[in-house]
Amino acid sequence: MIESDVLVIGGGPAGSIAAIKLRKAGYSVELIEKVKFPRFVIGESLLPRCNELLEEVGVLESVEKAGFQFKGGVAFENEKDDLKVVHFENNMGQKHNSSFQVRRETFDKLLLDEAEALGTNLSIESEVIAYNPTTNMVTVKDKDEKIEEYSAKKVIDASGYGRVLPRLLDLDSDSKLALRNAIFCRVENDIRPSDGTDGYIYVYIVGDNDAWIWNIPLSPTVTSVGIVCSDEYYQSFNMNQEQFWNHIVENNPSSKERYKNASKINEVGFIGGYSSNVKTMFGENYVLVGNATEFLDPVFSSGVTLALESGSKAADLTIRELQGEIVNWQEEYEDYMMIGVNVFREYVEAWYDGRLQDILFSKVPTADKIERKVVSVLSGYVWDKKNMFVHSPKEAVDATHKILTTEDYK
């Protein structure tokens, strides 16, 4: 039996940042990762809030030195010539006003290496096959099929799409968001914007909000291009994933122009059923972080931000618990995380029902006044209580939409 203070399941950003924090506080950490790194995963665009969290654990400098694509903002463009460019520097005064576009195989490896360098014990290509929540014993099968028992004071599940504890403990619940598919590919030699926004993520809205395309520049020549749409819309084309990707990219005016000389550098990938949820984010001896909890739609690039925030928060609370304090996980963890999740979820819902586009593309002069608040949300500062979109997400989106679209107020 292998004993440790904490056992982390999963070596993505949520697991790594938790391990880094715990090691820095002097606690022993075992980390179980199912696959060999580096490995491919989508979710390549970070938000400024990530920089703050990375800085807090002392790894921002290594990330900056790794040469990732600088990201100064996000742009939204529809087929009716509406364009909204959001510059992160127009936030509500928060410190970090830029972030990075990252190949996750490189970024995730860098964070995991940092965790290992700080003394985290890694078991790579090992899989958690059973968990006893009462004894807090975790059964792990390694790549040679050898079974090992682990005992820890706390288990942090950062297994992402693997959803290890949600599966083993039957914690999955239906997502309130509609299921969507992502169809994606990396290309080279696209034509970038020449107005200084070449590092920005561009979101092209397809048709009448039927789908949207992410355009994430990963290096001076390589761009990640993904389409997100409902399964119904995808199925209506009766095409395989590559035909579908080609068709959408060739028919949206913005992507058609951007990729006219570009060529694919890998196969078109597909992930179905984007978005899921859990009944609870914690138990007496365990806590779920990152995508192991709820994963939202990727339209606002919130994935890595929520992963780092939750991993970091869970580690802070675990440290306090290991020091003998009593932690109220409901209030201090789940309720806290839900503040940010609810802001993004409200934006996601307003995106798909079209209200957010009305707000973003509004030509009403007073729209400037809400700019900083919107920018702050799109930068991942979704715990800043002075922002109305944070303290009252639904009411703020409704009221803003009403005021920017009602003739009387213009």
Q: Which residues bind another protein (CB under 8 A)?
A: 92, 366-367, 369-370, 372, 386, 388, 391-392, 395-396, 399-400, 403, 409
- Count each helix (H run) and each strand (E run) in the chain, helices first: 15, 19
Nearer to another protein, 175 or 387 (CB): 387
* Gap between the Cα atoms of 327 and 334, Å rounded: 12
Closest distance to another protein from the beta carbon of 6 (Å): 36
* Gap between the Cα atoms of 288 and 206, Å rounded: 35
| Whole-number Cα distances in Å, 70 to 67, 198, 307, 329 | 8, 9, 20, 36
Nearer to another protein, 95 or 369 (CB): 369
Closest distance to another protein from the beta carbon of 91 (Å): 12
User: How does DSSP classify residue 333?
Assistant: I
Residues 6+ apart with CB under 8 A from 13: 107, 108, 111, 290, 304, 307, 308, 311
CB atoms within 10 A of CB 33: 25
CB atoms within 10 A of CB 298: 23
| Whole-number Cα distances in Å, 143 to 101, 102, 134, 147, 232 | 32, 29, 27, 10, 39
Phi, psi (deg, nearest 5) at residue 278: -130, 160
Closest distance to another protein from the beta carbon of 50 (Å): 25
Nearer to another protein, 20 or 370 (CB): 370
Closest distance to another protein from the beta carbon of 184 (Å): 37
Nearer to another protein, 247 or 386 (CB): 386
User: How does DSSP classify residue 242?
Assistant: H
Phi, psi (deg, nearest 5) at residue 167: -75, -50
Closest distance to another protein from the beta carbon of 367 (Å): 8
Nearer to another protein, 139 or 405 (CB): 405
Closest distance to another protein from the beta carbon of 370 (Å): 6
Nearer to another protein, 302 or 400 (CB): 400
Closest distance to another protein from the beta carbon of 340 (Å): 16
Nearer to another protein, 210 or 395 (CB): 395
Nearer to another protein, 265 or 399 (CB): 399
Residues 6+ apart with CB under 8 A from 319: 21, 22, 25, 27
Closest distance to another protein from the beta carbon of 395 (Å): 6
Closest to 310 in 3D by CA, of 332, 277, 343: 332
* Gap between the Cα atoms of 114 and 247, Å rounded: 42
